[in-house]
Structure 1
Amino acid sequence: MSVEKEWTGRTSGTKWMHRSLIWMMHNLPYRGVYLFVCIFVIPFCMLFSHKGYIAIYHFFVMRRNENMALAFWHTYMNHCMFAGIILDRFYTYSGGKLNIEVEDWDLYHNLVDSKDGFVILSAHIGNYEVAGYTLEAESKRFNALVYSGEAETVMDNRRKMFETKNRHMIVIKKDMSHLFEMSNALANGEILSLPADRIFGSSRHYNIDFLGYKAKFPVGPFAVAAQREVAVLAINVMKTGYKKYRIHIKQLQQTEGNIKQRAENLAYQYANNLENVMNEYPTQWFNYFEFWN
């Protein structure tokens, strides 16, 4: 079964549920909402969303070599962590502020101050969406590639968050016109943010050793950076506590060779960095499908 069939890319819940959640984040005690979700909602979700639960359980058993009891506990903690991240997302939609620390801030600002565009690569770990609201750049527009089928409430609130700063969403389209927007953004010296751990549309991928097993990483994001020969940052935003996050920034190195060789080298660097972050935050892996081959 392909990734496209296993993962819809859409935040669960109806429009009224999302609006209710925003209202709760604004009017009810945050900790109370979180405890209610972990005690009552998460067990229900694990019971009836069996495919996602099994995929994460397999991650802890097969990729981290945990016994059944520990893997089950970490699977539950993973779901609670994901719930906390979703609540933090809606908390920001309601106007709340998070406490965010940034490592290697200079790597980002040095590229912002340069005349050239650059690429930011992200993954579905932690809460990368927070980066889009934190990494400000008055001199460069921040362009984020986003999935077009996301829930309406989420997309509406993302637009509200983005329009307040020099930010722009590039929506993935079936006619592939988003590729021209991406190319133009880099040509204009802007920032282009791309997810680099899931295959969208094209089936082209690299088979890379990742946590000791072969996994598929899409060619597209790395090919874009290699073709334009721009700087590349791997950025991961990891939850460290109650309303607290740490942004990890790592610059990948453009190497010698043709576009194909340089793109592949970027992919291997990216996978290695992602592996290091995952080893530090194993319960913040949120790819709820069988990621490995």
Structure 2
Amino acid sequence: MSSWEGKTRGGTTGYRIFILLLKKINIRFSYALLRVVAVYFWIFSDKSPLMYFYRNRLQYGKFDAYKAIYKNYVMLGECLLDKIVVMAGIKNKFTFDFDGEEYLHALAKDKKGGILIGAHIGNWEIAGHLLTRINTKVHVVMLDAEHQKIKELMQNVLPEKQISIIPIKNNFDHLYAIEEALKKGEFIALHGDRFLPGTKTICSEFLQQDAQFPSGPFYMASKFGAPVCYVSAIKTSRYHYHFKATEPELLPYPNKLKTRNQDLKNMIEPYVKNLEQIVLENPNQWFNFYSFWGNKDSAN
């Protein structure tokens, strides 16, 4: 069964080139160059996971699926460029609208803390950046190895924000850090759609086929009694993003071993349904480039 390996493809060279272009020229020229770069990836990259996504899950014809894959690569590149521009404070024309942000302001005001669960759909980094509008500290949980070189590079171009990183290593230090942050009424932001081999998962139907989702974010929220919101930032036009946060909910702790798996499944399903709706509305902003449905990923 193919699975995510905990590290996103790509190095820092491309980032450095585009950062230079964004600072010295403008984003429109960078977008144009990006379309050429996307052709290279469209020709030479492994397209089978996305082909399965478009053909088998969304029922695209083969020609339309190939077009959609190219658009997906372009959109991914645009989101990366947008992230650099917005977070580095480079002059730009971006605008944003906010749906459900009042829930986060209320949680911060009441010092309740919260767990914000996102996914690899739209622009997660811009969603995290927009959380700086909330009057509380935000801790982003990520694997220590993921984008290590990219993180080092970005730290050189980004101003300091009210955001910290909690790295997941081979011990349980991250759990103590998460608990401590929640006790202070701060926010924890993490993904709910990827996991490493050996991670406990729960099966849930996603786009009419069973897929595995990590149970950790949801179990953790129930154990610590932290309110949960699902957050996303979707690109709706060239220079506009729509930020959305769902109404917070408290997840009941699954204290009965006999029914724990079913209880976890019930916890995860609202997140999966929310993610499914966003993906159906914005299929070209789905950025999971591995066999998301496991060994069934063989396109017709």
Q: TM-score with structure 2 length normalisation?
A: 0.87
Aligned-partner SS, 1:81: helix
Q: Percent identity?
A: 25
Q: Is the 8 A contact 1:123 1:196 kept in 2?
A: yes
Q: CA RMSD in A?
A: 2.2
Equivalent position of 2:229 in the other structure: 233
1:270 aligns with 2:274: no
- Give the 3 Å change call, closer, same or farther, for CA 4–191 of structure 1 in structure 2: same
**Secondary structure of 1:65's match?**
coil
Match in the other structure for 2:298: none
Q: Counterpart amino acid of 2:186?
A: E
Q: Give the C-alpha shift of residue 86 in structure 1.
A: 1.1
Question: Equivalent residues in 2 for 1:143-154 (5 A)?
Answer: 143-154=139-150
CA shift, 1:60, in A, is: 0.6
Q: Which residue of 1 aligns with 2:48?
A: 54
Matching residue of 1:3: 3
Counterpart amino acid of 1:61?
Answer: R
CA distance in 1, matches of 2:253, 2:219: 13
In 2 relative to 1, CA 238–57 (structure 1 residues): closer, same or farther, beyond 3 Å? same
Secondary structure (helix, strand or coil) at the match of 1:101 reads strand
1:52-75 CA-partner distances (Å, limit 9, x unpaired): x22111101000111111111111
Q: 1:65 aligned to 2:66?
A: no
Check 1:55–1:2 CA distance in 2 against 1; reply closer, same or farther (3 A cut): closer
**1:124 aligns to what SS in structure 2?**
coil
Structure 1 residue 82 corresponds to structure 2 residue 79: no
Unaligned segments of structure 1, at least 5 residues: none
CA contact (8 A) 2:87 2:129 kept: no
Distance 1:240 1:77 in 2: 14
2:231 partner SS: strand
CA–CA distance in structure 2, aligned partners of residues 89 and 42 of structure 1: 18
Q: Are 2:88 and 2:157, in contact at CA under 8 Å, matched by a contact in 1?
A: no
Match of 1:116 among 98, 112, 118: 112
Q: 1:129 aligns to what?
A: 125
Aligned pairs, how many? 287
Can you list the C-alpha shifts for 1:233-275, whole angstroms capped at 9, x where unaligned? 0001101112311112113533556354654322111001111
Partner of 2:297: none
Give 1:155 shift: 0.9
Change beyond 3 A, Cα 1:202–1:185: farther
State the match for 2:178 in structure 1: 182
**Match among 21, 25, 32 for residue 22 of structure 2:** 25
Mapped to 1, the partners of 2:195 and 2:169 lie a distance apart of 14
Native 8 Å contact 1:255 1:262 kept in 2? no
Q: Is the 8 A contact 1:22 1:93 kept in 2?
A: no
Q: Kindly tell me: are residues 71 and 28 of structure 1, through their superposed partners in 2, closer, same or farther at Cα, counting changes over 3 Å?
A: same
Is contact 1:82–1:284 with CA below 8 Å preserved after alignment? yes
Task: Map Cα deviations across residues 208-251 of structure 1 (whole Å, 9 max, x no partner).
Answer: 01110001100100011011121100001101112311112113
Once the two structures are TM-superposed, the CA of residue 123 in structure 1 deviates from its matched residue by: 0.1
**Contact map agreement 1:206 1:264 (CA 8 A) in 2:** yes
Q: Distance in 2 between matches of 1:169 and 1:216?
A: 25
CA distance in 1, matches of 2:231, 2:161: 20
Q: Unmatched 5+ residue regions in structure 2?
A: 295-300
Judge conservation of contact 2:105–2:135 (CA < 8 Å) in 1.
Answer: no
Change (3 A) 1:16 1:74: closer
Q: Aligned ranges for residues 201-280 of structure 1 at < 5 Å?
A: 202-251=198-247, 253-254=249-250, 256=252, 258-259=254-255, 260=260, 263-280=264-281
Matched residue type, 2:129: Y
1:292 alignment partner in structure 2: 293
Looking at structure 2, the residues matched to 222 and 79 of structure 1 have their Cα atoms a distance apart, in angstroms, of 30
**Farther-moved stretch of structure 1 (129-138 vs 58-67):** 129-138
Cα deviation, residue 202, structure 1: 4.2
Which amino acid is the alignment partner of residue 108 of structure 1? Answer: L
Letter in 2 for 1:234: Y
Structure 1 residue matching 2:180: 3-state secondary structure: helix
Matched-pair contact (CA < 8 Å) for 2:144–2:167: yes
Q: Shift in Å at residue 281 of structure 1?
A: 0.7
Amino acid aligned to 2:18: L
